Structure 1
Amino acid sequence: MTGYGDTYYARTLADGSQRPSLKGAVTSDVAVVGGGLAGLTAALDLARAGRSVVVLEAEKVGWGASGRNGGFVGPGYATGHANIARMVGQERAQVLHRLSIEGAGIVEENIDSLAMSGNKRVYGKMSVLRYHDPDSLERHCEMMQREFGYHLEVMPTDAVRAVLRSPKYYQAVYDPASFHFHPLNYARSLAQAIEALGGRIFEKSRVTGCDLDQAEKTVRTAQGEVKARDVVLAGGGYTDALVPRLRRSILPIATYVLLTEEAPEKLAEAVRTPMAVSDNRRAGDYYRLVDDGRRLLWGGRITTRTTEPRRLAEMMQRTMVSTYPQLNGVRVDTAWSGLMAYARHLMPLIGQLQPGVWYVFGFGGRGMNTTAIGGRVIAEGILGSSDRYRLYEPFGLTWNGGPFGVAAAQLTYWTYQAMDLAKERRASRAA
């Protein structure tokens, strides 16, 4: 196996430009801390509205989870609609789900309006069961149509196995409106659009301190500072102790992705659809064909600590082959990990910390739509055009439990794995 580390970025990055680090003092209307998709979306909307914006990124734009994810774009949150309704009531849960649908639409709008190159959209997503339960899928599809006018279809087992040649799969929900694309290229395109509107982006500019209690805020890096009326904190899974209350509200969770070598004939024996695919397990597998079917991008598995790339590639390859024995012998070209931010309640953390200080992070593995809507509602709050960010207030900055929270998160994941395995074994015996 070859090509670990940043090889994925070197091979697939459409824009390899280098941006300067912040040096000296600058002023702006808004300072955005974090060059991921949430911060970039907020910055773009603010720049479109005529506000001056500075984005400070500790590494490079899209360096974190925003550029390392599977690139699946569709509605929903890290927790299910029924659970959200239990927390906030059915009416607010419906509004929140509509926001997630809007978030996916924002991504489409940006791709279209910015005429993004190197970012082909492939429509269609299959959410696959690993046990027999068509009735629950029918109920879900009926609810989505009734409550949101959102069209989904149930695929029976024979239709699923015709395109996904694995005996582990049963029925699936087909979502024709969801799509997959290249998330890192998307982040880079947002950055270019911000700069075209006069926004400034500084890379390799880690924020080391801040004064947030005055009307004019100050955000400092090693070699410079930004003074601004509003500050947006959008650090994601890499949020550090800059604002301790925010750091104590998330659990950084590592997720893993691999990319196979070019093997179009072998891949065609297993995966016979260009659609995005995920299974129904908690932190289950998700994958898609890329490079016009020549490679397979495969993600899944979460832990509370990162793993050395060679070992994680071997783990992921075993999972891939256990699902598709036809892929035995297909080598892994590259593998990488990244940190996602999870809150204990599994909902995004979006809101106002104090006057002029805003936060948007904690997307729990569902960031392609929630970063977009999160960035937008924070921009609206700064502009005074809406207070939709308040819809997320019930999901507050709950303490993550410290080291006990990390241990509990890992134990919970292992428990869900065991429950998923038991369901699959029962399904296998019934078959």
Structure 2
Amino acid sequence: MTYPDTYYKRTMVDLTARPSLSSSHDCDVVIVGGGLAGLSTALQLARAGKSVTVLEAESVGYGASGRNGGFVSPGYATDGDEIARIAGEEAARGLHLLSIEGMEFIRENIRDLSIDDAQPQPGLMSVLRYDNAASLKTYAENTSRRYGYELEFMDREAVRAALKSDRYFQALRNDNAFHMHPLNYLRAIAREIERLGGRICEMSAVQSVDLAGAQKRVKTAGGHVTARDVVFTTGGYTGSLNGKLKRSFLPIATYVMVSEDAPDLIASAIATKDAIGDNRRAGDYYRVIDGGRRLLWGGRITTRAASSDALVRELRAEMVGTYPQLAGLKTEIAWSGLMSYARHLMPQIGRMSPGVWYCTAFGGHGLNTTAIGGKVIAEGILGETERYKLYEPFGLVWAGGLAGLAVAQLTYWKLQAQDWWRERAA
């Protein structure tokens, strides 16, 4: 397989290798990119009886979709107040409800397709690293009132009963959110697309596209596909194929490590099956996996690929700073992956021109938003809804190129410094 060496690759159940495109054919829709956005789009189109071809440059789930933290929860990387400022209160509410629907879409697929290998585990704790119970209670009340979505407030005592760390204060627990094995989920979705008659071609990097006219033409080294609609879902691994799309987001690297098998040591620090994320920008996120036998820990971002060894040292320092009792816990494997971030920190979902669609820039949003993005694009192609237009205020704005990368890195360092001072002042 062509996957980078990750915990998910090592525990992947379905080892099917799909052939590359080796001929030319017509279909209703061709999708460029075999991650969660592309496969969610293809699944909904195939369910509606459309002929679909997915072209993937590597293997299904090769990118961020198949090697992320596995968190599935509502919301966006952008603050809700900022979304409302740009799009309006009504649209902001609709967008948040879509993110909840995306989470449920994944849950329903796991249930209806019996994807037991996705290993869904309920519960997500969002923890504060400074004392501010009032802000969490207000947020929980607003979420209940506006969306009918309940969050459980946890005081400091409750948090520290679950997480044996002096770093944490209060938390909100989301019992409806869950975490899972993302690559096994994706591979099962790919099987269902094929069962419904869809075609998935791996090792089929697109070399050129002709998007003029009613019929679009997408070419690979082995053949070409002609279709009425083309969907670009390539994320952080987008090349120069579509210049407008590539200029609209920044590729950002994030890092994950998984520990050795040490259940007793891990249990001395973490007494919950919930996934955990802290309140800092690009903060830590982690969860116990393998039935409590290993710890998956992620965090840090860089604007260009950095040495995994160096970043593992940083991640380990953060882990041990949070849980000194885990100083002896060895790291077994670590990896990185590229996410796509737009300047406005919202996903980019919509129609570029008649028959040309995009669904990308999901960095920091979680699996739920990627899934709902694919679902609303499919609805748009089918003419069922125009819900994709809710994302129009967050379009394909120029991300700034190299200057944008520099600004993003400086912004991240600034936010880290702000987090540091806020925690020390607590």
2:132 aligns with 133
2:102 aligns with 103
2:352 aligns with 353
In structure 1, distance between residues paired with 2:233 and 2:117: 26
Q: What is the DSSP-based 3-state SS (H/G/I as helix, E as strand, rest coil) of the residue aligned with 2:207? A: strand
- Tell me if 1:68 matches 2:63: no
Indicate conservation of the 8 Å contact 2:122/2:274, yes or no: yes
Q: What is the DSSP-based 3-state SS (H/G/I as helix, E as strand, rest coil) of the residue aligned with 1:301? A: strand
Q: What is the DSSP-based 3-state SS (H/G/I as helix, E as strand, rest coil) of the residue aligned with 1:270? A: coil
In structure 2, distance between residues paired with 1:315 and 1:220: 42
Quickly say closer, same or farther: Cα 1:254–1:153, change in 2 above 3 A: same
1:86 aligns with 85
Q: What is the DSSP-based 3-state SS (H/G/I as helix, E as strand, rest coil) of the residue aligned with 2:328? A: coil
Indicate conservation of the 8 Å contact 1:25/1:226, yes or no: yes
- Tell me if 1:301 matches 2:300: yes
Measured after TM superposition, the shift of residue 164 of structure 1 is 0.3
Quickly say closer, same or farther: Cα 1:357–1:128, change in 2 above 3 A: same
2:326 aligns with 327
In structure 2, distance between residues paired with 1:94 and 1:7: 37
- Tell me if 1:23 matches 2:14: no
Aligned partner of 1:424: which letter? E
2:369 aligns with 370
Q: What is the DSSP-based 3-state SS (H/G/I as helix, E as strand, rest coil) of the residue aligned with 1:166? A: coil
Indicate conservation of the 8 Å contact 1:5/1:309, yes or no: no
2:184 aligns with 185
Aligned partner of 1:164: which letter? L
**Which range moves more in the overlay, 4-13 or 120-129?**
4-13
TM-score normalised by length of structure 1 = 0.97
Deviation track 1:380-425 (CA, whole Å, cap 9, x = no partner) reads 0100011111111111111011111000000000000000000111
In structure 1, distance between residues paired with 2:37 and 2:69: 16
Aligned partner of 1:383: which letter? L
**Number of equivalent positions:** 424
In structure 1, distance between residues paired with 2:220 and 2:318: 42
User: Structure 2: any 5+ residue segments left out of the alignment?
Assistant: none
Measured after TM superposition, the shift of residue 310 of structure 1 is 2.2
1:204 aligns with 203
Indicate conservation of the 8 Å contact 2:71/2:366, yes or no: no
In structure 1, distance between residues paired with 2:96 and 2:194: 32
1:149 aligns with 148
Q: What is the DSSP-based 3-state SS (H/G/I as helix, E as strand, rest coil) of the residue aligned with 2:255? A: strand
Deviation track 1:74-128 (CA, whole Å, cap 9, x = no partner) reads 1001111111011111111001111111110100111111111312211111000
In structure 2, distance between residues paired with 1:331 and 1:386: 50
1:310 aligns with 309
User: Structure 1: any 5+ residue segments left out of the alignment?
Assistant: none
Measured after TM superposition, the shift of residue 5 of structure 1 is 4.7
1:196-275 alignment runs, 5 A limit: 196-275=195-274
Aligned partner of 1:329: which letter? G
Aligned partner of 1:409: which letter? A
1:169 aligns with 168
Give me the identity figure in percent: 58
TM-score normalised by length of structure 2 = 0.98
In structure 2, distance between residues paired with 1:62 and 1:388: 26
1:390 aligns with 389
2:281 aligns with 282
Indicate conservation of the 8 Å contact 2:6/2:67, yes or no: no
Measured after TM superposition, the shift of residue 67 of structure 1 is 0.6
Quickly say closer, same or farther: Cα 1:27–1:93, change in 2 above 3 A: same
Deviation track 1:351-383 (CA, whole Å, cap 9, x = no partner) reads 000000000000122131111110011000100
2:378 aligns with 379
Indicate conservation of the 8 Å contact 1:154/1:174, yes or no: yes
In structure 1, distance between residues paired with 2:311 and 2:220: 34
Aligned partner of 1:256: which letter? Y
Q: What is the DSSP-based 3-state SS (H/G/I as helix, E as strand, rest coil) of the residue aligned with 2:319? A: helix
Aligned partner of 1:335: which letter? A
Indicate conservation of the 8 Å contact 2:8/2:67, yes or no: no
In structure 2, distance between residues paired with 1:67 and 1:121: 15
1:32 aligns with 31
Measured after TM superposition, the shift of residue 8 of structure 1 is 2.4
Measured after TM superposition, the shift of residue 343 of structure 1 is 0.4
- Tell me if 1:194 matches 2:189: no
